[in-house]
Structure 1
Amino acid sequence: MYSRLSRFLQLALLLGNAFAASAVAQTATLDDATVIGYTNNSVTSFMGIPFAEPPLGDLRLRLPKPITSYSGTINATQPATQCIQLPLPIRTDLPPELLQDMIAYLEVLESGAGLPQSEDCLTVNIQVPEGTLPGDKLPVIAFIFGGGFAIGSTAQMPGDGIVQRSVAMGQPVIFAAMNYRLHAFGFLGGKEVKEAGVGNLGLHDQREGLRWIHTHIAAFGGDPDRVTIWGPSAGAISVGLQMVTNGGDTEGLFRGAIMSSGSPLPSGDITNLQLTYDTIVEHAGCANSSDTLECLRQVPADTLLAAAETLPSLFGYPGLATPWAPRADGVFLEDAPQHLVLSGSVADVPFITGDSLDEGTVFASGSFNVTTEDAFRAYVEQFFFSGVPEASLAPLFELYPNDPAQGSPFGTGDDNQLAPMYKRMAAFQGDMIFQAPRRFILDHRSSQQDTWTFINERGRSGGLGVAHGSDFGAALSGADDLADYIIQFTATRDPNGASNRTIPWPKYDTVNRQALHVVEEGLNIGNDTLRLAAMGGLTALSIAFPL
Structure 2
Amino acid sequence: MFSRPFLFVQLAVVLGVVSAVPSSTSGVPSLPTVKLDQATVVGSTNGLVTSFMGIPFAEAPVGDLRLRLPKPVSGYNGTINATQPATQCIQLIPPLRTDMPAEMLKDMETYVGISASSAPASQSEDCLNINVQIPVQATPADNLPVIVLIFGGGFTEGSTTQMPGDAVVARSVQLGKPVIFVAMNYRLHAFGFLGGKEVKEEGVGNLGLHDQREGLRWVQKHISAFGGDPTKVTIWGPSSGAISAALQMVTNGGDNEGLFRGAVMNAGSPIPTGDITEQQQYYDQIVEHAGCSNATDTLECLRTVPPQTVSAAAATLPNLFEYPGLATPWAPRADGVFLTAPPQHLVQAGQVAKIPFISGDALDEGTVFATGSFNVSTEEQFRDYVHEFFFSHAPKELLTPIFELYPNDPAQGSPVGTGDADQLAPMYKRMAAFQGDAIFQGPRRFFLDQRSSEQPTWSFISKRGSIPGLGYAHGSDFLPALVSGNELTDYIVQFATHLDPNGASNKTISWPKYDSDSRQVLTLLDGDVPLKIETDDLRLLPMQGVTAISLASPL
TM-score band by shorter chain is over 0.9
| Closer, same or farther: CA 154–112 of 1 in aligned 2, 3 Å | farther
**Secondary structure class of the residue paired with 2:251:** helix
Distance 1:268 1:361 in 2: 24
Is 1:535 aligned to residue 543 of structure 2? yes
When residues 164 and 462 of structure 1 are mapped into structure 2, their CA distance, relative to the original with a 3 A threshold, is: same
Corresponding position of 2:454: 448
Partner residue in 1 for 2:173: 167
Compute the TM-score of the two structures, normalised by the length of structure 1.
0.98
Deviations 1:131-166 (A, max 9, x none): 111121000001100000000000000000000000
Correspondence for 1:32 among 11, 15, 38? 38
C-alpha distance in structure 2 between counterparts of 1:110 and 1:308, whole Å: 25
Partner residue of 1:16? Answer: 19
Partner AA of 2:532 in structure 1: N
AA paired with 2:351?
Answer: S
- Summarize the Cα distance change of 1:347–1:145 in structure 2 as closer, same or farther, 3 Å threshold: same
Moved more, 382-391 or 268-277: 382-391
- The letter of the residue matching 2:545 is G
Report the Cα offset of residue 2 of structure 1. Answer: 2.2
Matched, 1:358 2:364: yes
The answer on 1:411 being equivalent to 2:414 is: no
> For 2:55 and 2:253, how far apart are their aligned partners in 1?
30
Q: How many angstroms apart in 2 are the aligned matches of 1:122 and 1:271?
A: 26
Q: Is 1:147 aligned to residue 150 of structure 2?
A: no
2:316 corresponds to = 310
Residue of structure 2 equivalent to 1:44: 50
Shift in Å, 1:194: 0.2
Q: Which SS does the other structure have where 1:146 is aligned? A: coil
Q: Secondary structure at the match of 1:286?
A: coil
Figure out how many residues of one structure are paired with residues of the other and give that number: 547
> Per-residue CA shift, 1:236-291, capped at 9, x if unaligned?
00000000000110100000000000000000000010001000000000011110
**Structure 2 partner of 1:546:** 554
Q: CA 1:478/1:218 → structure 2, altered by over 3 Å: closer, same or farther?
A: farther
In the TM superposition, what is the alpha-carbon distance from 1:392 to its structure 2 partner? 1.3
Contact 2:375 2:425 (8 Å CA) reproduced = yes
Structure 1 residue runs of 4 or more that deviate by more than 6 Å after TM superposition: none
Check 1:57–1:357 CA distance in 2 against 1; reply closer, same or farther (3 A cut): same
Specify which of 273, 281, 290 is matched with residue 284 of structure 1: 290
Instruction: Label 1:21 to 1:490 Cα distance change in 2 as closer, same or farther (>3 A).
Output: same
Equivalent position SS for 1:243: helix
Structure 1 pair 77/109, CA: closer, same or farther in 2 (3 Å)? farther
Give 1:6 shift.
4.6
Contact 2:15 2:119 in 1 (8 A): no
Whether the aligned pair in 2 keeps the contact of 1:478 and 1:484 (CA below 8 Å) is no
Equivalent position SS for 1:447: coil
Q: CA RMSD in A?
A: 1.4
Unaligned runs of 5+ in 1: none
Q: Summarize the alignment of residues 326-405 of structure 1 with structure 2, pairs less than 5 Å apart.
A: 326-405=332-411
**Shift, 1:13, TM fit:** 3.7
1:202 correspondence with 2:208 = yes
User: What aligned pairs does 1:468-487 form with structure 2 within 5 A after superposition?
Assistant: 468-487=474-493
Distance across 1 between alignment mates of 2:16 and 2:67: 31
d(CA) in 2 for partners of 1:111, 1:196? 40
Q: Distance in 2 between matches of 1:259 and 1:431?
A: 16
For normalisation by structure 2, the TM-score amounts to: 0.97
Distance in 1 (alpha carbons) for counterparts of 2:120 and 2:373: 30
**Take 1:109 and 1:88, find their aligned partners in 2: how far apart are those partners?**
15
- Distance change (3 Å), C-alpha of 1:280 and 1:365: same
| 2:129 partner letter | T
How much does 1:390 deviate?
A: 2.1
Q: Structure 2: any 5+ residue segments left out of the alignment?
A: none
| Distance in 1 of aligned mates of 2:114 and 2:358 | 25
* Contact kept? 2:10, 2:116, Cα under 8 Å: no
**Cα distance in 2 between the residues matched to 1:404 and 1:135:** 58
